[in-house]
Structure 1
């Protein structure tokens, strides 16, 4: 995994975990910018379980599906998954400032690495704002 993004969320780890793994919560925070939104999400949070989300531009001009399979799950600690030929890992660590969430993933070949990093970081920043606002 070549790209890593990170944030620290000032909230209890159980709240952070729930917001990260609940389909209803995912639909509220999973967007890189205000002109996008997630219209559908499904989570079967277990090894071998599937996940999916549908992200769309709010103006209807484009959209895409993000889906994969969980390969490792340790509640309140770590989630690993595959999507297509790529892998990703989310690690949750309690710190004095809150929960440090680190997401590492394999880059894809279509977009520059820095653009991918910025997009995933923007989604993580949206997650932090959502949880800290009382999710």
Structure 2
């Protein structure tokens, strides 16, 4: 099953792309709630290159790594990647009200679909706020 989340950001496409692909930016926006944070991020933005980030609860009680491999990159248009046996497509779609950033990913089997959608949407909303603050 595929899940899609999206947001519209009134900012230049170049700024949005840079914020999405730069580790220094990723650690600032990559969280679903204020009690979590991303402690590190690595990006090798090329087909066959890898990405990884470490998300942790601020109280140190939990944490996990999110990592994968880029399978398709069209600069300023889309990024496709694999993480485990799942895939993610991120599209950057210029529109009249700004750039739509749309993520479509394979659902996992551990957590309910709505919980997954809400978590990914919360991270995407943080991304939009981060870009707007630049």
Report the alpha carbon displacement of residue 96 of structure 1 after superposing the two structures with TM.
Answer: 1.4
With the length of structure 2 as denominator, give the TM-score of the two structures.
Answer: 0.99
**C-alpha distance in 1 between matches for 2:79 and 2:49:** 12
- Name the structure 2 match of 1:97: 97
Q: For structure 2, which runs of at least 5 residues remain unmatched after alignment?
A: none
Aligned to 1:29: 29
Gaps in structure 1 of 5+ consecutive residues: none
| 2:63 alignment counterpart | 63
SS of match in other structure, 1:125: helix
C-alpha offsets along residues 47-77 of structure 1, whole Å, 9 cap, x if unaligned? 0000000000001000000000000000000
* 2:8 match: 8
Cross-structure match for 2:54: 54
Superposed CA deviations along residues 110-129 of structure 1, whole A, max 9, x for unmatched, are 00000000000000000000
Name segments (4+ residues, structure 1) moved above 6 Å.
none
TM-score w.r.t. length of structure 1: 0.98
Q: Secondary structure at the match of 2:114?
A: helix
CA drift at 1:108: 0.5
User: 2:115 & 2:88 partners in 1: Cα distance?
Assistant: 17
